[in-house]
Structure 1
Amino acid sequence: MEMASSSANRDQLVPAVRCRLPVAVLAGLAWFAGCRHPEEGAPPPLPTVSVSHPVEREVTDYAKFTARLVAIESTEIRARVSGQIVAIPFQPGSVVRQGDVLVEIDVRPFQVELDARIAEEARAAAQLSLAQIEFKRIERIPPSSRTSHEYDMAAARLQEARAAQAAAAAAVEAARLNVEWCRVVAPIPGRISYKYVTTGDLVTGGIGSGTLLTTVVSVGPIYANFDVDELTVQRIRQRVREGTLKSIEEFNISVWLGLAAEDGFPHQGTINFVDNQVNRRTGTLRVRGLFPNADDALWPGYFARVMVPVSAPHKALLVSERAIATDQGQKIVFVVGADNRVAVRPVRCGALHDGLREIIDGLNAADRVVVSGLLQVRSGLPVEPQSVEMPISAAGSAPTTTRPISAVSSPRNASPEE
């Protein structure tokens, strides 16, 4: 009886399970469908990139070199006569005028010598007068009453007396120069160095070998000597031959200078000398600039940076350096076309101006250049461009070598890092 009752219960459950199974399956499918994200299967968003048009400016290319400042005039003060130093009236490091007394040497021996030479000159003058009287006496005697020997002897004594008088006068002048040289004076105006000798020292005179007493260098305008490499020289000469750049003979070429403790190139001068040949050992050409020095900021011996124009002003397209990439040694930029697809442009780069790199070839003014997001773009990729101003690097934030077409700017505030 119990077995029959269990069989009947199973027969009643089977139809119920069969009816509930489709409902459970449908409910699971509905739950799975409800858990799926609605965006699955939609295309990904386009990458957003910043684009900017190349900056159009009129620029001048500059080359930078290291220079050494040199005084226009520099002289060594040496003793011209030998003797003992009796006075040194100058103050070391001061500015002296031309003719100021710097050193005094004991003049007494030279004054005695001068007095003796003056006496010798007086004696020679007296002998000359006596010889003239004797010659005139012999000359007045008729030729028949004198011998030719007497006449010749009188004439010779006259010539001898004249030569002796001239020699005595020269000796007086030499002695007077020695007396004058006992007072050593400044031959040029300028700043004097320290004292190489002290009072009481014995010095030796001589031309070129006299004891060195001190030195004087001129103040005011100053030279800056710098060496230009051979490649730059050839490029400049090529532009001069082509007529795109004026030579130093045709035009006063400006040059700018900055010291180690200064920002940019605040001092402006002109090139006044170019050497006549390239140094074979260094492969450089010596060039010299002349700079005013009214504020005495430039001292001889300073190292300095100079910036020289190596091209005529010309219009150029400039882009940020962050927009320039390299592909197997070739400089490239990414541009966004009218269809908002990226294209690769090989370019030829020029000099850096105000933090922007000049593009000599490969770009047009209307091109939209990718300036950020370069790592997420490739050729042919559609993008979402956003127009921004052309970014400028911090090194070129100050006006340097470029100028707008409507105005000319000076490079005196140029950044030294360019």
Structure 2
Amino acid sequence: MSGAVRWAVGALIFPLLAACGARPADGPPPAPTVLVSAPVQRDIVDWDEFVGRFEAIQSVEVRPRVSGYVQSVGFRDGDIVKKGQLLFVIDPRPYQAALAQARADQASAEAQAVNAGVELERAKTLLDKGFVSKSTYDSRLAQQRSAQAAVAAAKAQVQARQLDVGFTRITSPIAGRVSDHRVDVGNLVASSGQEPTLLTTVVSLNPIHFAFTGSEAVYLKYQRANEAGTRTSSRYASNPVDIQLQDETGFNWHGRMDFVDNAMDTGSGTIRGRAVVPNPDLLLTPGMYGRMRLLGSGAYKALLVPDAAVMADQSDKVVMVAAAGDTVQPRKVTLGPIVDGLRVIRGGLAPTDRVIIEGQQRVRPGMKVAPKPGRIVAAAPTAPQPKVLTQPAAAASPAGDAE
């Protein structure tokens, strides 16, 4: 390579090397920007969830009260029936004949009673004149009283035979939905024996019960709240419930508690409860499954943050806050339920803390951040916030009676 070429290459390389060597050292990276907000403060109540099934408030097995042949069926299988609606007719002719015989026996007894009364009056007249003895009069009196008793017995027999005739028309004892008929026309049904013949069943639908079981821990929680006066026992107050069906995304059915059992099941460690739910469209059917949400606490002040702001630190839950000097600090918190899309913080956070609600994935404890004000927005309410039913201390239920 000639000297001129080497000089030209050097003239190009030396400035580049000089420029590289002259670059100033890099400074610290800028503090990451995060959005911060104080926790939302709100009066809320807790809701506990249970699973259970719907049950008919009234369920009746229709069986005959007299024996005989089925003459007709007065309903269509699966119909909605009214109370008193005709369901079956049993051949009434044998019972009508027995009724006629009983009425004839009553007429005979009444005739004998009239004759005994006449004989008694005659004996009384003769006794006053001294023509009959006192024993003869007493005999006529006994005959008259026996005849009156026979009339009463005959009348009772007529009433019994009238009932038998009435029992040949089997009506629905309640309003609701009837099952299929278990006996066809022409079959003999029996009212006596080990078990009378089952004709059909009827269940009521509106309103309807929702039955469920709760754990011993939940029972104790309700007991403590009842003793403290923050939540009245469902034994004494109709606490509200919301129910979600299998194909629903919301709790669209609303009812009230109406029963809590008197003892825990020793096998499962649970206690039975029950709510009553209006069912005007008769959509709810006994045996259907559902998820129920029950008022679980009295109203209390709570701090709420977005659930995304809560991070896991091994077995602990932490929330990052921008502390003094815009330094990131973790706060170990105790979590509550989700309310309107926000997580309830039961402990570990102060109302004045600046919670990092966006950008917390880019920071670590002790790091400087550039906080910007954000806003925590709650979703539309998914559960009613009812007026909590409380009771004065003097009216508190006995220990062990809370639910």
Where on the TM-score scale, by shorter chain, does this alignment land: which range?
Answer: 0.7 to 0.9
Quote how far apart the aligned CAs of 1:82 are: 0.8
Q: Distance in 2 between matches of 1:360 and 1:380?
A: 25
Query: Are residue 78 (structure 1) and residue 58 (structure 2) matched?
Result: no
The residue number in structure 1 matching 2:230 is 244
Partners of 1:93 and 1:204 lie apart in 2 by 24
Aligned-pair identity (%) = 37
Quote the residue 1:90 is aligned against.
Answer: 75
1:361 corresponds in structure 2 to 347
- The answer to whether residue 305 in structure 2 is matched with residue 323 in structure 1 is no
TM-score between both structures, scaled by the size of structure 2: 0.84
Which of 151, 154, 164 is 2:140 aligned to? 154
In the alignment, which residue of structure 1 is the partner of 2:51?
Answer: 66
Q: Any conservation in 2 of the 1:57–1:402 contact (CA below 8 Å)?
A: no
Displacement of 1:30 in angstroms is: 6.3
Q: Which residue of 1 aligns with 2:327?
A: 341
Alignment of 1:264-275 (within 5 A): 264-275=250-261
CA distance in 2, matches of 1:293, 1:380: 58
What is the distance in 2 between the residues matched to 1:173 and 1:199? 28
1:196-207 equivalence runs, <5 A: 196-206=182-192
Mark the runs of 5 or more structure 2 residues left unpaired by the alignment: 1-8, 388-403
Deviations 1:97-149 (A, max 9, x none): 22221111111111111111111111111222222222232233337654454
Q: Which of 75, 92, 100 is residue 85 of structure 2 equivalent to? A: 100
User: 2 CA distance for matches of 1:166 and 1:402?
Assistant: 65
Of the candidates 370, 389, 397, which is equivalent to residue 356 of structure 2?
A: 370
Q: For the residues of structure 1 that align with 2:156 and 2:170, how far apart are their CA atoms?
A: 22
Residue of structure 2 equivalent to 1:127: 112
Give the drift of 1:387.
4.0
- The superposition leaves residues 327-363 of structure 1 with CA deviations (integer Å, 9 ceiling, x where unpaired) of 3533222211131111121212212212221111211
1:142 aligns with 127
Distance 2:384 2:267 in 1: 35
**Are the equivalent residues in 2 in contact too, given 1:190–1:219 (CA < 8 A)?**
yes
Cα distance, 1:90 vs structure 2:
1.0
Pair 256,108 (structure 1): closer, same or farther in 2 beyond 3 Å = same
1:261 aligns with 2:247: yes
Residue 18 of structure 1 corresponds to: none
Number of residues of Structure 1 aligned to a counterpart in Structure 2: 379
2: CA distance between counterparts of 1:37 and 1:97? 100
- 1:225-278: per-residue Cα shift (whole Å, max 9, x none)? 222222112212212221222344765422112211222111222222222333
Deviations 1:173-217 (A, max 9, x none): 111111111111122222211111111111111499321111122
2:268 aligned with 1:282, yes or no? yes
Q: Say which is worse superposed, 136-145 or 317-326, in terms of deviation.
A: 136-145
Alpha carbons 2:127, 2:133 under 8 Å: kept: no
1:38 to 2:23 alignment: yes
1:50-104 superposed Cα distances (whole Å, 9 cap, x missing partner): 4333222222110011122122222121111111111112111222222221111
The answer to whether the 8 Å contact 1:60/1:402 transfers is no
**SS across alignment from 2:117:** helix
State whether residues 69 and 301 of structure 1, in contact with CA within 8 Å, keep that contact through their aligned partners in structure 2: yes
Q: Is the 8 A contact 1:59 1:401 kept in 2?
A: no
Structure 1 stretches lacking a partner, 5+ long: 1-23, 409-418
Q: Does 1:298 align with 2:280?
A: no
TM-superposed deviation, 1:398? 5.0
SS in 2 for 1:171: helix
CA contact (8 A) 1:88 1:102 kept: yes
Matched AA of 1:44 = P
The 1:250–1:73 alpha-carbon spacing in structure 2 relative to 1, beyond 3 Å, is closer
Following TM superposition, by how much is the alpha carbon of 1:372 offset from its aligned partner in structure 2, in angstroms?
Answer: 4.6
Shift of 1:385: 3.2
Could you state the TM-score of these two structures normalised by the residue count of structure 1? 0.81
The answer on whether the counterparts of 2:318 and 2:331 sit within 8 Å (CA) in structure 1 is yes
Q: Distance in 2 between matches of 1:221 and 1:85?
A: 33
8 Å Cα contact 1:65-1:307 kept in structure 2: yes
Aligned CA-pair RMSD: 3.0
User: Equivalents in 1 of 2:81, 2:11: separation in Å?
Assistant: 111
Structure-2 change in CA distance of 1:217 and 1:273 (3 Å): same
C-alpha separation between the residues in 2 aligned to 1:37 and 1:123?
140
Equivalence for 2:164: 178
Counterpart Cα distance in 2 of 1:27 and 1:174 = 130
**Mapped contact 1:75–1:215 kept (Cα < 8 A):** yes
Query: Which of these two proteins has the greater Rg computed from alpha carbons?
Result: 1
1:21 maps to none
Which secondary structure does the structure 1 equivalent of 2:325 belong to? coil
Secondary structure of the structure 2 residue equivalent to 1:205: coil
Q: In 1, distance between residues paired with 2:359 and 2:49? A: 33
Contact 2:235 2:259 in 1 (8 A): no
Distance change (3 Å), C-alpha of 1:230 and 1:99: same
